[in-house]
Amino acid sequence: MPEGGYYSSKKTDDICEDVCGQEATRAALSMSRLRCMLRGLDFKAYILLFVIIPTCILGIYVHGQKISYFLRPIWESPPKPFIDIPHYYHENVSMENLCKLHGWGIRESPRRVYDAVLFSNELDILSIRWNELYPYVTQFVLLESNSTFTGLQKPLVFAGNRDKFKFIESRLTYGKIGGRFKRGENPFVEEAYQRVALDQLLRIAGITDDDLLIMSDVDEIPSSHTINLLRWCDDIPPILHLRLHNYLYSFEFLVDNKSWRASVHRYQTGKTRYAHYRQTDHILSDSGWHCSFCFRYISEFIFKMKAYSHNDRVRFSHYLKPSRVQDVICRGADLFDMLPEEYTFKEIIGKLGPIPHSYSAVHLPAYLLQNADKYRFLLPGHCVRERG
């Protein structure tokens, strides 16, 4: 035993002793301190540090958007509910009686109707839309840009296929607008810019006060009998949203009946502005169809995923893989691997998973069924798409 000292027969930790005794280099000292700390951890702490925490970080990175959407009811209140107007229709009921059922009068002559759309590349849906509305539309107004909302260069698809729409040529007002190509800008800025240009094109087309103006995207298709009702009935609301059956990929996947952005306006010079947001509390029930991402070719799906205003939902490059896109379509799943955009946990949970298959093709646009061979990809049981 050393003289004047304290003796212990317990073995010492060389690493920790080096740390305490400052006998190592700085790098070795840092490593030693780390190893010293780790030696003080038990097995459960190792699991927490090297397995559970990294897994949680990876999970948040991959599924953070899902977590945000699932928790949406906590941080966002649902919008004010619409005032639903019951919709009455039967082909054997006179127009006078139909107007009366809605609480409206009957006009001596129908209003003129203008159908105005911004066009990207939806040729098949545009053909179905225009054939559905053809009997009752005075003027078809279409604006096309060489730029997507996200600033990508695109061809003038309608201009290159205009000969396919000769049946409406005498009633068509067509306009082109050059893109601003500001990459990285909020896509809704470019979208708003193009909608302002559509206002100007409507004036060129000759719209006047009390004409009916249909404001909707190409894939939001009002039924012909809805437009006929509104052009004949007097005292209809100045602005009326249309509640549409909401489909995804084709008429096989009915999401719900909540599509509401389409609207019809009694035009007022200086007041009416072309828009795609909520503009009134009144909505007419069962007024048509919204068929989103209803394309013939896989390449069209991929183009829209990159080009439309919500392109930020493409979080990973493999989302754009053609084989994955085809698989998602046939399963009725979500192209962006997102949770439902709802405001209550009940609605979110109720819509989890793929959309159930529907095998009903009743009350679809007449032109679609009359040309079923041409548009078979939009009908139940035909989910496989062409590569394009």
pLDDT recorded at residue 225:
98
The CATH number given to whatever domain includes residue 198 is 3.90.550
**Are 272 and 221 found together in one domain?**
yes
| Max mean pLDDT range (16-25, 56-65, 232-241, 334-343) | 232-241
Torsion of CA 182, 183, 189, 192, to 10 degrees: 70
29 assigned to some structural domain: no
Contacting residues for 191 by C-beta, under 8 A, at least 6 apart:
118, 149, 276, 309
More confident residue, 112 or 189: 112
Contacting residues for 96 by C-beta, under 8 A, at least 6 apart:
106
pLDDT recorded at residue 352:
87
**Are 148 and 215 found together in one domain?**
yes
**Are 155 and 103 found together in one domain?**
yes
**Are 272 and 179 found together in one domain?**
yes
Confidence of residue 313 (pLDDT cuts 50, 70, 90): confident
Over residues 245-258, mean pLDDT: 97
- Examine the fold and report which residue of 294, 318, 342 is the final residue of a domain before the chain moves on: 294
Over residues 243-271, mean pLDDT: 97
pLDDT recorded at residue 64:
62
Report percent pLDDT > 70 for the chain: 83
**Are 59 and 202 found together in one domain?**
no
Over residues 254-258, mean pLDDT: 96
More confident residue, 183 or 166: 166
160 assigned to some structural domain: yes
Check whether 370 has a pLDDT greater than 60: yes
Check whether 4 has a pLDDT greater than 60: no
283 assigned to some structural domain: yes
Total number of domains constituting the chain: 2
Q: CA dist 298 to 2, 160, 191, 316, Å?
A: 85, 20, 24, 18
- Examine the fold and report which residue of 242, 274, 294 is the final residue of a domain before the chain moves on: 294
353 assigned to some structural domain: no
> Which of 217, 220, 219, 241 is CA-nearest to residue 230?
241
State the number of CA atoms in the 13 A half-sphere of 381 facing the CB: 5
Check whether 358 has a pLDDT greater than 70: yes
Confidence of residue 21 (pLDDT cuts 50, 70, 90): very low
**Are 51 and 106 found together in one domain?**
no
More confident residue, 124 or 151: 124
**Are 194 and 243 found together in one domain?**
yes
Pairing of strands 113-119, 139-145: parallel
State the number of CA atoms in the 13 A half-sphere of 33 facing the CB: 11
285 assigned to some structural domain: yes
Over residues 254-276, mean pLDDT: 96
Q: How far apart, in whole angstroms, are the C-alpha atoms of residue 73 and residue 76?
A: 5
Q: How far apart, in whole angstroms, are the C-alpha atoms of residue 196 and residue 179?
A: 13
**Are 50 and 148 found together in one domain?**
no
Contacting residues for 273 by C-beta, under 8 A, at least 6 apart:
199
**Are 62 and 115 found together in one domain?**
no
- Examine the fold and report which residue of 274, 294, 314 is the final residue of a domain before the chain moves on: 294
Count each helix (H run) and each strand (E run) in the chain, helices first: 14, 14
11 assigned to some structural domain: no
Helix (H) or strand (E) holding 106: strand 105-106
332 φ/ψ angles, rounded to the nearest 5 degrees:
70, 30
369 assigned to some structural domain: no
**pLDDT (tens digit, 9 = 90+) per residue, 33-47?**
656 655 656 666 657
97 φ/ψ angles, rounded to the nearest 5 degrees:
-70, -35
153 assigned to some structural domain: yes
**Are 166 and 224 found together in one domain?**
yes
**pLDDT (tens digit, 9 = 90+) per residue, 70-88?**
778 888 888 899 999 999 9
pLDDT recorded at residue 20:
47
CB-based contact 355:255 (threshold 8 Å): yes
Over residues 337-363, mean pLDDT: 90
Minimum mean pLDDT range among 10-24, 330-344, 353-367: 10-24
**Are 127 and 212 found together in one domain?**
yes
Tokens, residue 115: 């159908």
Q: CA dist 242 to 91, 226, 277, 317, Å?
A: 20, 9, 12, 36
pTM here is: 0.82
DSSP H stretches of helix in the chain? 14-21, 26-39, 43-47, 53-70, 72-75, 95-101, 123-133, 157-160, 187-205, 224-232, 298-307, 322-331, 345-350, 366-370
Over residues 195-204, mean pLDDT: 95
> Whose structure tokens read 């392109």?
311
Domain carrying residue 59: 43-70
pLDDT recorded at residue 177:
93
**Are 53 and 180 found together in one domain?**
no
